[in-house]
Chain A
Amino acid sequence: MRLYEHEAKRVFQRRGLPVPKQFGVIHSPEELARLELEFPLMLKALVLVGGRGKAGGIKRAENAREARAEAREIFQLRIKGYPVEAILLEEALEADAACYIGVTMDPATFNNVVLASAFGGVEIEEVARDRPEAIHKLELLENEPELPAELARGLASRLAEDLGQAASAVETLAEIISKLYALYQAIDAKVCEINPLLLTPKGPVAADAKIVLDENALFRQAKLLEELGISGRRHDVAEPTPNERRAQAAGFKYLDLLPPEAPKDPEKIYVGLVPGGAGYGIFSIDEVANIGERFFGGRVVPFNFMDSGGGPTQEQMAEMFHLLMDDPRVDLIITSRFGGISSCDIFIRGLVQALRERHAQGKRVVPVYGRMVGTDLPSARDFLERAKEETPEALKEMEIIVGNQKIMAEVIKEGLSRAFAAKGWK
């Protein structure tokens, strides 16, 4: 979970990492009048995506008039599709030099790495690509809670050398590096980054601050979240669609693969997926598209990603089907239950519940085609047989294959064949 810049800076400040003087956050240009400002100052768009500078989201103002004009302009921006809803105002600094310092986990070795580069203020990914030798990397093998002093000093002296700074700067830089690393560990961060760190005559200052918290550790960072006034989880990067919001409220993972406003191509079959766990959720998108291309002339569109595994409740199962059937674009639902930790029994009960509710309420029923295998299969099969006898009308659009009589690719192919036949397509 990424923090906004002003939140990250508040965390930095509390840990003794120097940041520019903060004047406040505004949500409209008019609010500028309420703040006690000193000039020159910086206006910075508060959005959770990178590349703000290039998009015009970071501006300097020499006086109040300029500040108002810039604020108005920034509030008009959409940065990578996201509207600017807030702007941070802070002191503008003069610096002799700028650099980059970051702490994160190496995705290959799962060790912590401290990265430092004399190229501050530019996108570090670009530096890594174009001039990898300009990035100093310190890899920690022991997941130490604090950075050993000699390692911090070593990295700081290499950085100071690159920056052409006097040896006296080494201690100061080492202190910043150590504090950033300790912070990263203490708050369970995935990323702690200063880019740029400005070296001003009065000392180093973090002109920008990036913190990404580990979602899995939020439960033990309650104090930090409370200090920042954050309640609950923040949606990662993109804004959720209405379907995604609905799934979030019901407590399962769901992503739309098409924009909510995208019109439907009447020549294609749109396939909703209730696939089981997250991994098969990803794979079933590929599989539906592959089979569509191979056997159905590419006239098949996978509609969503869903993680319906991990032991959902019957209510959640029912809501997964309701959600897809409520979207008028979905023509067919392909479903699979490979019960490991989750149960075939709960799956089939949830599905039958959803179909019966829709039938009773006269809502649109989308054909469901799928397979169930694994934990609790015998009781699930018995329930399914009884349910079909009890309410044949409500369940007539549902076909669930019991056991691994066919592999899932074959099930998907058959489901699509039926959907095409129902449309009278070849």
Chain B
Amino acid sequence: MERIPAGEGLLCHLIEQVRPDLARHIRETGEVETIVIGLGAQGTRHAGLMQEFGTKITAAVAPGRGGTRVHETIPVYDTVAECLQEHPYIAAASVWRHYATARDATIEAISAGIPFIALITEGIPLRDMRDIIVAARKNKTILIGGNSPGAIFPPERVKIGMLPDVFYPEEPSPGKLGPKGVTIISRSGAILYHLSDALAMAGIAQNGVIGIGGDAAIGSTFVDLVPLVMSHPHTDLVVIAGEIGGIQEERLAEDILAHPERYPKPIVALISGARAPEGKTMGHAGAIVAPGQEYGTFHSKKAALARAGVTVVNSQYDLIEAVKGRLRRTYFDTARYYEKMRTIWEAKPKPPSWGTLITKIEPNNILISGYPLQQLIGRKSLLEVAHLLVRGELPSPEALKELEALALEGARAPSSSGGRLGEEDLSKALARALLLDRELAAFPTKGSRGPALKTAFALGRVGKHLATILGTASALEGLPARASFTEAIYRTITGRTEFDPRWAGLLEAMAVASVDHGVTPPSAQATLILASTRAAYEVAVAAGVGAITDVHGGAGAKAAEFFKECVARARREGLELEEAAKGLIAEYIKAGRRIEGLGHRIHTQDPRRDALWRLAEEAGVAGENVAASKVVTRAFKQVRGMDLPINVDGVIGAIVADMGLDPIIAKALFIWGRVAGLSAHYFEEVASQPEMRRINFEQAVYKGPPAREVP
């Protein structure tokens, strides 16, 4: 999106009059940091629209919602003070609170020193408005509104408020954006839009389009703002749009006569209400002509302004002529502008979408918070990746220590689950254990780090329950006091007590390979749906675990069995592995059985495959099963004529088989890893989405960090 650096624009100039320190920061960064105060329906919607227009929305403030996010990426704070502690360079705010609470919220923002505030709220009681104005005067705040549509600064593409998005940065000289133009200030929102639109259609560039509000008492009036915007070197002319009622226009006229030096540039005024009936309030609380009043009428305003040398008009046609006449120029080619606007009225409606910051799934690429998963496998521990999933960053060494301690605490605390009942599915047994887990339920999630800490504890609990289910509880219980969580994984999976770091690393890498695959896998969907109802953490995670069946996520165990069969047949019949595989595949097909571990919805070459194969080689584990996993795709093509690449389940199955472990271990590792992803989705949903929303999983869009290299 084209724009001028914000430091050159009118908004920065206004901010500089109040807070030179913030203006300096804006010049350095080229951006104006803004916040949204109040997240009702309008505040929430327009936070998104402002962001789309180009405004930098650094944060939002809504009491009781601190620690959550809005539009998935904007952090929310309970108070302005808390927000400024984290983001000290906030230079502008828009206030959307209800009229009953707008007073306190606005005064809070004013007292915090935010220099430019647009008060959008309509219907604020006058007594509250006076308190707000008193506070703004003390702090020299540039307050516009209440009942203001806000302001738009087209060249720097900053919108603070709810103005429609038809204002484009104009080109004061052909082909070049710039801060020059006229500034429009209006009491009415709709008149503001119409004037801006009409002037743009005539080739008049605008560097600021400001709605000051239609109420009887407002923050900044014409007298306050006109000299301010005129002091901006790039403002060539000021258009004001006044209307009947109040005395602002008359006061401006008086001030122009008394202090002509404050008004070095031409003013054109459009005054509305020439035909307004007396004694009837016309929509705006301020727009009433009281019978017998000496001011506030169309004629009193027109006469006063004309006396002060202001060109006064009452129609769009005359406005355009007057502005062109006073400027003796236009700024840009209207045909180009017309073409630009055509793209707006001919635009396709945008498909609805919602965002996730966790995982981006592309064909043959999986990015966890920007890091390629294939780079994380073998290089980062499960706890590090879990932290990345939940918080978007890898943990610091101190944070990792805390996660380790909590995960080990979880692995050591007793489990009251009865293990596995008969031949029931591993996932069912684990889901039940998690659902009934008192320690996990009692673990708090307070504070910004709470979710990551709880996730680490949950991964420990999964180990504890798996050990009970797999019959390795005594090995896990014998874990030495200073052991690592990697060793806990090793003991749980293998049941052995003598530590083999190469095996342990490989097992953990397989869990890491399984951590997440975005919001569309059924397990993630189950957890998200429960999270949207604000079900308890362990309920939502258990639901996701329960969804990991032979159909979804359990293919590794079946694949392990297939490869073992392959290897056995090759030995038995003295065949090459590929020949044995072909024979077995043909039999499977004949019997109508599925060959698990092949094919993927999205990936034609599963990015996790090579990383795991390589690690298996390096660990000295790769044997005939891994070898079989490397030829099975070609064998399948020769038998069936279809390209079904091996997937991560298939690779894990082959490695588990080569390790001589029970095939069920493939599934156990998958679930263990995936609990980290489910946990992240749970916390993201709760923190950033409305309750009970309708989730369309196909509409999810990744909004996290762009691709980056693993450090």
Contacts and interface: CB of A to CB of B under 8 A. Distances in A.
Interface string B308-333: 00000011110000000000000000
Interface string A322-350: 00000000000000101111000000000
B25 interface: no
Interface stretch (A61-69, A215-223, A351-359): A215-223
A108 interface: yes
A285 interface: yes
Interface string B272-283: 111111011111
B283 A277 contact: yes
Contact of A142 (B134, B272, B295): B134
A374 interface: yes
A83 B99 CA distance: 36
Interface string B40-79: 0010001001000000000000000000000000000000
Interface stretch (A91-99, A149-157, A402-410): A402-410
Given A216-B126, A281-B283, A379-B349, A407 B201 contact: yes
Contacts of B130: 105, 110-112, 143
B134 A283 contact: no
A374 B317 contact: no
Interface string B183-201: 0001111111110011001
A111 B129 CA distance: 10
B395 interface: no
B246 interface: yes
A236 B285 CA distance: 11
Interface size class of B (residues with CB under 8 A): 35 or more
A378 B276 contact: no
Contacts of A55: none
Interface in A350-386: 373-375, 377-379, 381-382
A276 interface: yes
Contact of A129 (B198, B283, B294, B342): B294
A289 B274 CA distance: 10
Interface residues of A, number: 70
Contact of B166 (A278, A373, A378, A409): A373
User: Chain A's interface: helix, strand, loop or mixed, by majority?
Assistant: mixed
B193 A374 contact: yes
A304 B124 CA distance: 27
Interface string A276-301: 11111111011101110010000000
A341 B162 contact: yes
A305 interface: yes
Interface string A251-281: 0010101000000000000000001111111
A129, A286, A374 interface centre (most CB from chain B within 10 Å): A286
A275 to B, nearest CB: 7
Nearest to B244: A282
B579 interface: no
Contacts, number: 218
A110 B280 contact: no
A60 interface: no
Contacts of B260: none
Interface of A: 105, 107-108, 110-112, 123, 125, 129, 141-143, 185, 188, 190, 214-217, 219-220, 236-238, 253, 255, 257, 275-283, 285-287, 289-291, 294, 302, 305, 307, 309-311, 336, 338-341, 373-375, 377-379, 381-382, 402-409
Interface of B: 42, 46, 49, 99-100, 122-131, 133-134, 149, 162-166, 186-194, 197-198, 201, 214, 216-218, 241, 243-244, 246-248, 251, 270, 272-277, 279-285, 287, 292-296, 314-317, 338, 341-342, 344-350
User: Ordered nearest first, which 7 A-B pairs have the shortest CB separation?
Assistant: A279-B188, A278-B283, A403-B345, A374-B164, A280-B190, A217-B125, A277-B190
Given A341-B42, A407-B201, 13 more contacts: A107-B295, A141-B134, A188-B126, A214-B126, A279-B283, A283-B273, A289-B275, A294-B315, A375-B49, A378-B347, A381-B345, A404-B345, A407-B198
